[in-house]
Chains A and B, each alone.
Chain A
Amino acid sequence: MRRVCLIASLWILVLCLADSAGGSTFGCLACHSAMKGKIKAEKGLVDVNVDSEKYSQSVHGGIDCISCHKQFGANPHQPQAQGDIPADVAALASNMSHKAKVDPVAVAACAECHGDIYNSWKESIHGMNIIDKKQSAGAVCTDCHGSPHYILPKSDTASPANRVNVVKGCGECHEKEELAKEYGFGTHILERYYESFHGKKYILGHENAPTCVQCHGYHDIRKWDDPKSPVAWDNRMETCGKCHEGATKKFVTAITHKPIGKDNPVPYYFEKGLILLLLGTFLFIVGHVLLETYSEIRDRFFRKGKEEHHE
């Protein structure tokens, strides 16, 4: 009987500890891990379900829901719920509310722990476009890192920020026609990267092959003509020099993502010429071999012995 009591009291203790550590998480997930379908919100359909297993395995798995969803601190389902939101997070939330589908406070809450990254991000072309220019185009944390519920360490190949996924991630926006037109970048950039030696090695899994971020930077990414961009003319020698020791001014001008087309005529017509040479040679050798095979069969079987007297 004493043993049973001991086990029971230990179990209660464990439950109490778990409750104080997990806090509201268990409560929220009781419903929010079993929801199917989507809910209609102001800005379209929203999935409010959280895969509790994936959540617990993510690097954020030990964090309470209300650590980020601060405004749900009190009564989560009250329309104008107001939790305990620090002023800076509240200000940031109102600044980037146009990027949030449901909970701008949760979008802004990343900055609370990852303040240094937030500070460099807001200087980036993505951050400035969202915060200063109030545009919807531009990446926030979740656009590149995926849902904070399932966020994985960068070293995990399933993480969208891992090098095996990062190029595709950039392409999500940088291959979009309408964004390209509005912001004046080319949609061919990824294609040209994949055609380059850097890109080909990357596809094959060469661990030294540079992805977009190795040259262009990431959190504080800037346009190439911004003097602070690592691919600005004055910084390129250092950037390229990370791999190509002794990179000179002449060397660093070589890399562009310019498409091979009629406005870049030398490689364009050169390639056309080479293809012509290739096809011409193929035609000759294939024709020659086929004709010779035909004549060999003819000589062996239908002109037996005759071919010896060729003089």
Chain B
Amino acid sequence: MNKELPREYLRFNVLERTQHIVLFTTFLLLAFTGWALKYPHVEQSQWWIRMWGGPKTAGIIHRVAGITMLIDFIWHIVYMVRKILSGRIRFHKDTTLIPMPKDLTDAIKNMMYFTGASREKPRFGRFSYIHKFDYWAVFWGMAIIGLSGLFLTFPVEASYLFPAWSVNWIWDMISIMHSDEALLAIVFILFFHFYNEHLKWDKFPMNTVWLTGKITLKEMKHEHPLEYELEFGEKEGDDK
């Protein structure tokens, strides 16, 4: 009955995987070269910045990585828009990345399961609320940090854009935005993303989906039951 079922399911194609690789390489470079500038008073910042070739070189690496990340970001948006316009992505409540009311109830259900208040795990679609949070946090971060970073890289050009009544505070705001949001992004990735994709029992040392793009059907059934049912049907998929 389930002989026709493949053993693996392609979750991310090679373009999507490339986007992710460019994203995290530039992310790491940006975090490493920007960190010392956020805390210059700390003694360790001095040797850390020297490891990146000194403040001048680190600044160049930071700018090149930043622009590369923004290009990656734009590529991703164009890619998604084209996919949507050509009909290759159709909205379905169980496969969408758009936050849905179900995500909130899933989060509450999951918390109840964690604490033991409930014995029932929420059943996720293609993207759980955790994935959506991860995705949109990075999306928002790239927009905010990327934009403020561009302003800081080209301050003279950026000054044309701001109205005269904002000049007294806009630059303070942009600096705060860039540095605080960056801290948020780093802590978020280090804690949430690393736990969910690297440290979790089933995932340690890492979820290999970023390399192969594939997950096993068993994993899919376990982690994305709603998508599994949508793709392979509930009855056929029941291999017990």
Contacts and interface: CB of A to CB of B under 8 A. Distances in A.
A55 B172 CA distance: 46
A204 B187 CA distance: 23
Interface of A: 194, 196-197, 200-201, 203-209, 244-248, 250-251, 253-256, 258, 260, 264, 266-267, 270-271, 274-275, 277-278, 281-282, 285-286, 288-289, 291-296, 298, 300, 307, 310-311
Contacts of B137: 281
Contact of B59 (A206, A251, A260, A271): A206
Closest 7 CB pairs of A and B: A251-B159, A267-B172, A206-B55, A203-B40, A291-B114, A266-B169, A295-B114
Contacts of A285: 187-188, 191-192
B54 interface: yes
Contacts of A298: 116
Contacts of B172: 260, 264, 266-267
Given A247-B156, A271-B176, A254 B170 contact: yes
B113 A244 contact: no
Interface in B31-47: 36-37, 40-41, 45-46
A244 B152 CA distance: 12
A201 B41 CA distance: 11
Nearest to B49: A204
B201 A271 contact: no
A250 B121 contact: no
B155 A267 contact: no
A248 B160 contact: yes
Interface stretch (B2-10, B63-71, B177-185, B205-213): B177-185
Contact of A204 (B45, B130, B180, B200): B45
A307 B121 contact: yes
Contacts of A204: 36-37, 40, 45-46, 49, 55
